[in-house]
């Protein structure tokens, strides 16, 4: 099976890049299932029901979240209506689930949304929790397991790779919006520290640069806005899993505005 994974979709520019490119890329790369991170999809903060329906209409099959999952309060009412999850290590009493399961090409596929600790909201220990969750899935003979690790610290993501590279199919980093050049297939596990944003590429992490620059110069904050017009980028990792849930190949796809795509293969260890 071939899986496409899109990192943080940031605002309208990110949504428009999916509209322009996703369905064509799904055909060109024979993608069977597409995952995307929604937490910045509605003007940079959270997800509205309107934008959820919009993104699913562009060809996304399910979506993961992060520390901005609950910024738009209407999401509390739509977790049960759409294929959405939020980080599994949020307190259990809040709405939503952190695990999504489906059947794809005769195999059960499990997608887990996990959030790191450094600079993030107070959540349960991601490392102890994920070990237990993976054990539960393995006990049920689930072999195709994908993790979206939504974390600030690259060390947390690298540690997760070392912990679980023999146990899961893929570990894909989100949250920083800055793509890393370390896509790899290590011991049958697809890994990248951060997929990078889909949205504006000429501001600061997908936002207009006025407030971030002012903050760095003066220490005074402000509301971050997504520009209405900007230079944009689409970024996606495509990886192939065999019948045992092991990754046998991966590539990174980038498109700048409407220019030809750039495809970079993973290194394989």
Query: What is the DSSP code string of 102-164?
Result: EEETTEEEEEEEEE-STTS-S---HHHHHHHHHHHHHHTT--EEEEEEE-S-HHHHHHHHHHH
CA 84 to chain centre: 12
Q: Is 68 a catalytic residue?
A: yes
pLDDT at residue 158, as a whole number: 98
| CATH number of 157's domain | 3.60.21.10
Q: Could you tell me the residue range of the domain that residue 52 belongs to?
A: 2-202+231-268
Percentage of the chain exceeding pLDDT 70: 100
Percentage of the chain exceeding pLDDT 90: 96
How many distinct structural domains can be found in the chain?
Answer: 1
Question: Residue 228: pLDDT above 90?
Answer: no
Catalytic residue among 21, 29, 68, 166: 68
C-alpha R_g of the chain: 17
> Quick check: is 83 in a domain?
yes
pLDDT at residue 120, as a whole number: 92
> Quick check: is 212 in a domain?
no
pLDDT digit string (tens) for 31-55? 999 999 999 999 999 999 999 999 9
Question: Residue 193: pLDDT above 90?
Answer: yes
pLDDT at residue 221, as a whole number: 84
> Quick check: is 220 in a domain?
no
Contact partners, residue 50, CB within 8 Å, separation at least 6? none
> Quick check: is 112 in a domain?
yes
pLDDT digit string (tens) for 128-177? 999 999 999 999 999 999 999 999 999 999 999 999 999 999 999 999 99
> Quick check: is 136 in a domain?
yes
> Quick check: is 216 in a domain?
no
pLDDT at residue 244, as a whole number: 98
The SS3 assignment for 256 reads strand
> Quick check: is 210 in a domain?
no
> Quick check: is 213 in a domain?
no
């Amino acid at each position: 099976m071939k899986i496409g994974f899109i990192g943080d979709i940031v605002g309208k520019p990110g949504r428009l890049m999916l509209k322009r490119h996703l369905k064509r890329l799904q055909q060109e790369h024979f993608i069977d299932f597409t995952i995307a991170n929604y937490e910045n999809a509605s003007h940079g903060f959270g997800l509205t029901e309107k934008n959820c329906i919009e993104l699913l209409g562009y060809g996304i099959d399910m979506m993961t979240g992060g520390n901005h999952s609950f910024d738009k309060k209407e999401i509390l009412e739509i977790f049960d209506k759409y294929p959405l999850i939020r980080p599994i290590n949020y307190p259990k009493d809040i709405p939503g689930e952190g695990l999504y399961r489906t059947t794809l090409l005769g195999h059960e596929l499990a997608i887990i949304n996990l959030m790191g600790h450094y600079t993030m909201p107070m959540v349960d220990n991601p490392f102890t929790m994920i070990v237990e969750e993976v054990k539960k899935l393995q006990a049920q003979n689930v072999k195709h397991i994908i993790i979206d690790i939504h974390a600030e610290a690259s060390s947390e993501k690298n540690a997760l790779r070392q912990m679980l590279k023999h146990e899961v199919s893929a570990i894909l980093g989100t949250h920083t919006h800055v793509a890393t050049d370390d896509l790899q297939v290590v011991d049958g596990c697809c890994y990248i520290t951060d997929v990078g944003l889909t949205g504006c590429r000429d501001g600061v992490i997908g936002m207009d640069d006025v407030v971030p620059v002012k903050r760095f110069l003066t220490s005074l904050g402000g509301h971050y806005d997504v520009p209405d017009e900007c230079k944009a980028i689409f970024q996606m990792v495509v990886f192939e899993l065999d019948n045992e849930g092991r990754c046998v190949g991966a590539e990174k796809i980038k498109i700048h505005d409407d220019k030809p795509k750039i495809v970079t293969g993973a290194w394989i260890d």
